[in-house]
Structure 1
């Protein structure tokens, strides 16, 4: 029996495993491309220090890559164990990009990772760089297919509902992979991963400089990290703007929660810099706004309104009412599948079927759902305003702080004085958690902001779960938390150990600990 406790625990388990896994993914993405940049410097200049940089940061990449694989494997199995109806309903569509990711991108990534680590003495300088590039490319392609699947969950085009099988089926693979949502999700997420790798290298390099260790190695590493980070952070902002436009157009409930917009603003809409949202009173306290900005960013016009939460609820009352008709028509059609009149009636209201399915959470008899039940279901089409509002601002502030660190670090590096700027180096070291904060909060906005849908506008979360007991899900959740916590402890210990040794771990005889024995 599907209970609210079962749904909440299933959601929590997937959220926990996803957020744990995503502690490793962005660093893998970021370090892979920084290794390409560092080894590119070695290929062009022939200077051994760039080779040492590539090998050393590659060690830390390897640790993180292994942990990312270990934590990612279990996630796909959860679709079959905890989200059985989701897998049944959309598995033919959602499973296709995940299968391609595993069969093509992951094996490409793993193969060239092996050549990266074991091919230094067997490949030419250029040949090894090509392997490093292909390893990084495989890492990015792997992320691309996963984010294509996620983009389809956000904007489910390229599929049709089959009334005979009662499942969603793919009708255009090209529509799915070329979706604007897939492109924006991929580019924004991957560029945020690049920022993560840049901050990681910058912070550890700053630590070396504060301790006057391996100064030349650390200065060059920090300069590459800051240059790489600054460029990718500007691209991240651009893609964030694109994502905001798509959210405004296709998921207005998410945008309304992000900005705590309770009533439709006059055009062009202002952006809320600060507020204390009050969901009970449906108002904001201590509100600070900047005129026009949200309208320009979100709608790219001066005349398109940004709907408020109250107006969206009323709009969704109408959609759920029509969805109720779709559920009734579908049930009648299942009893008389050859009736052309019933089929025509269902086709008329089919786009609202998902909204009708929302009613199953509140009543067992959708056909007789009262206006009060419909109103309740409509009210719950708005995600948690407080959580989304503050998560979004936490992400933005973290991103802006990273940009400041990249810019300052690059300026000081170009001037050749970065090793003398102890205040900056301390700030750079303390700033290491910023990209993880931004990435985790970004996924909170993306996924919690899609509630109550697992597939936006198509399949509610409450209908997606498996028929398990709450106790079994709680037990597996506890097991995952213990296991993943152990893996994080191992990751931190290994990272600390090799970062503490620094390039001395390469055994070249050129670095701090080898010269201070």
Structure 2
């Protein structure tokens, strides 16, 4: 039988490394485009202040990028160490996007980052600007391939199960590439990254304005960040609506759990503004709904129903029974590859094969599962309703706050009123963590909401783990947490040091390479205009 303590520790370890790694990714995405915008202004106007801005925010970007790479490499190895059966089962599908990400996007991004930092005195203005834009594009390509891989886990299209190899295999790579879940996740995720970069720039600029330092750069940075942040925050909401619509199509149980909707309601369903989910009674103790809102958001119609949790559990029972039929036929095909009747039965039922594996939690011989065990396995398809319900509302609440925040600052910029209200500057400074909180909540919603599946409807999470021991996992988890804590302290020290020093005529990296051999030309007299 499966050791669920090992599975839980494996999940905890991957969750810790993944969510820690994603502290760095969104800031990389956001700062890369903001740097490109600023350098574009520098090339068009020739004003040295925009070059100084690009160098300063580029230094912050470089520190963050290095930490992101250091924390991301570990995750690649965990697929082989902690999730060996998962790697065997779906490696033909999952490995391709990861390989492309590493070979094309990562190396593209890393190469041009080097040119960005060390090419200021070696490249022409236009050539260096092209490098900066390629850094931004490379960062987004990297995110694209990662999210294509993750989107396939949420909606496994373009692949079939091969009974001879006992693996999922690609039959339509175009379907994998243009998976609607992956595309929706990509645009939603990168937009959230742009918001994060804009908030970082706003908060640090507010700090400088409160201290009365570097006002020329702080004002310009706030103007750019306010405009970029407002557009990005609005796009997050719009693209989040698209992501919700895709979830309705492909992950109905996740949506029902997010809404704590136990029963299917008459169309159009209301949006649950507030509720107290009672998991034991499978109902809400108290709830406040906004009529029609969920139906319009989730189905974009007034007539289509949004299924509730309990009807979806009943549907899961049917799929489990079909999966048992597929499981029995698979055993027959493996015993006798010439058994055409068994192969025909398997081909008709294989999409439900993964549901039969849910019974492995309760017995090895799934063909002998009782009705009670099937019911337990069906209820295992329900994720943690209270966690999903409140996590979703936390994410959405912060999202609407950020729209109001950037909208206000965009208005202040247009009215030339930056820095006139110290209270708002303090608000900007202390709002710094909010995009990260919303993003981590979003990833928790996406990944925890997919449980019990590591691949939606195909492979249960507990079935995908490696046969590691508790000692192996305890030691590696402790080592990872220690190393990541050290990296977090290093990141914090470096960022604080750079921010305290503030913008200068050359970046911190340039100051420390080759003994400061590179000396930029003196700034013209009108540099701060």
Match of 1:302 in 2: 302
SS in structure 1 of the partner of residue 288 of structure 2: strand
Q: Does 1:196 align with 2:196?
A: yes
Matches within 5 A, 1:60-459: 60-459=60-459
Q: Deviations over 1:186-232 (max 9, x none)?
A: 11111100100000000000111111111121011011011001111
Determine the C-alpha separation between the residues in 1 that align with 2:16 and 2:237.
27
- After TM superposition, give the deviation of residue 149 of structure 1 in Å: 0.3
Instruction: Tell me if structure 2 keeps the 8 A contact 1:2–1:467.
Output: no
- After TM superposition, give the deviation of residue 300 of structure 1 in Å: 0.9
- After TM superposition, give the deviation of residue 504 of structure 1 in Å: 3.8
Match of 1:36 in 2: 36
Instruction: Tell me if structure 1 keeps the 8 A contact 2:332–2:339.
Output: no
Determine the C-alpha separation between the residues in 2 that align with 1:500 and 1:72.
28
Q: Deviations over 1:223-274 (max 9, x none)?
A: 1011001111111111101110011111011001111101111100110111
- After TM superposition, give the deviation of residue 2 of structure 1 in Å: 3.2
Determine the C-alpha separation between the residues in 1 that align with 2:454 and 2:522.
54
- After TM superposition, give the deviation of residue 97 of structure 1 in Å: 0.5
Matches within 5 A, 1:48-63: 48-63=48-63
* Residues 1:437 and 1:177: Cα distance change in structure 2 (over 3 Å): same
- After TM superposition, give the deviation of residue 20 of structure 1 in Å: 0.6
Determine the C-alpha separation between the residues in 1 that align with 2:97 and 2:159.
14
Matches within 5 A, 1:437-516: 437-504=437-504, 506=506
Determine the C-alpha separation between the residues in 2 that align with 1:27 and 1:463.
34
Instruction: Tell me if structure 1 keeps the 8 A contact 2:88–2:167.
Output: yes
- After TM superposition, give the deviation of residue 509 of structure 1 in Å: 12
Match of 2:517 in 1: none
Determine the C-alpha separation between the residues in 2 that align with 1:488 and 1:401.
27
Instruction: Tell me if structure 2 keeps the 8 A contact 1:328–1:367.
Output: yes
Instruction: Tell me if structure 2 keeps the 8 A contact 1:504–1:510.
Output: no
Instruction: Tell me if structure 2 keeps the 8 A contact 1:215–1:419.
Output: no
- After TM superposition, give the deviation of residue 331 of structure 1 in Å: 1.2
Determine the C-alpha separation between the residues in 1 that align with 2:324 and 2:376.
14
Determine the C-alpha separation between the residues in 2 that align with 1:160 and 1:38.
47
RMSD of aligned residue pairs (Cα, Å): 1.4
- After TM superposition, give the deviation of residue 505 of structure 1 in Å: 7.3
Match of 1:514 in 2: none
Q: Deviations over 1:146-201 (max 9, x none)?
A: 10000110100110111111111001111100111111111111110010000000
Match of 2:513 in 1: none
Determine the C-alpha separation between the residues in 1 that align with 2:72 and 2:389.
28
Determine the C-alpha separation between the residues in 2 that align with 1:302 and 1:416.
45
**Which consecutive residues of structure 2, in runs of 5 or more, have no partner in the other structure?**
508-519, 524-529
Determine the C-alpha separation between the residues in 2 that align with 1:475 and 1:400.
42
Determine the C-alpha separation between the residues in 1 that align with 2:505 and 2:289.
52
Instruction: Tell me if structure 1 keeps the 8 A contact 2:192–2:233.
Output: yes
Instruction: Tell me if structure 2 keeps the 8 A contact 1:82–1:466.
Output: yes
- After TM superposition, give the deviation of residue 19 of structure 1 in Å: 0.4
Q: Deviations over 1:80-116 (max 9, x none)?
A: 0000000000001100010011011111001110111
Q: Which aligned runs of 4 or more in structure 1 are off by greater than 6 angstroms?
A: 507-511
What TM-score do you get using the length of structure 2 for normalisation? 0.95
Determine the C-alpha separation between the residues in 1 that align with 2:110 and 2:386.
41
SS in structure 2 of the partner of residue 319 of structure 1: helix
Determine the C-alpha separation between the residues in 1 that align with 2:333 and 2:460.
22
Instruction: Tell me if structure 1 keeps the 8 A contact 2:309–2:382.
Output: yes
Determine the C-alpha separation between the residues in 1 that align with 2:412 and 2:102.
43
Match of 2:47 in 1: 47
Instruction: Tell me if structure 2 keeps the 8 A contact 1:498–1:505.
Output: no
